[in-house]
Amino acid sequence: MDAMNQAAQPAPTGTPSEQLVKHLCNNVARSATWMKLLGVLLIIEGVFMLISIVGIIICWLPIWVGVILYKAAGDAEAANRGVPQQLGAYIQKINRFFLIAGILALIWLIIALIVLFVAGLGSIWGLLGSMS
């Protein structure tokens, strides 16, 4: 079955590095729709965060990350349309996205651990207070 599929496909043209770039551009472009969707959803999340008091302070973060993802998707599509230089811009934006997302995940984890620790101390304090 694989031999039939390989025979039906045209032979790749260009140097091996050109073939690799085309392959990478094609694979990157396949994720562009999902990146755009996630980018738009993050922007909408940021807009909804404006409703709360705490959200006003941090609403710019999901909006910023959403814009980065949306622009990365555009770079991926441009690279697949024949502008392989956009592949570098795509990689820079995706790196920035993961850097920001990782830092935010660590911050939220630290905040959650602090809240759990304080809540645990409060419950222990309450138990000790009720014993006396």
Provide the 3-class DSSP secondary structure of residue 10. Answer: coil
pLDDT in tens, 42-65: 999 999 988 888 788 888 899 999
pLDDT in tens, 24-36: 888 888 999 999 9
Give the model's pLDDT for residue 25: 86
- Sorted by where each begins, the domain ranges of the chain are 16-104
Q: pLDDT under 70 in the chain at which residues?
A: 1-12, 132
Give the model's pLDDT for residue 1: 46
Q: What is the CA radius of gyration of the chain?
A: 24
Instruction: Please tell me the distance from the alpha carbon of residue 110 to that of residue 107, in angstroms, as a whole number.
Output: 5
pTM for this model (two decimals): 0.74
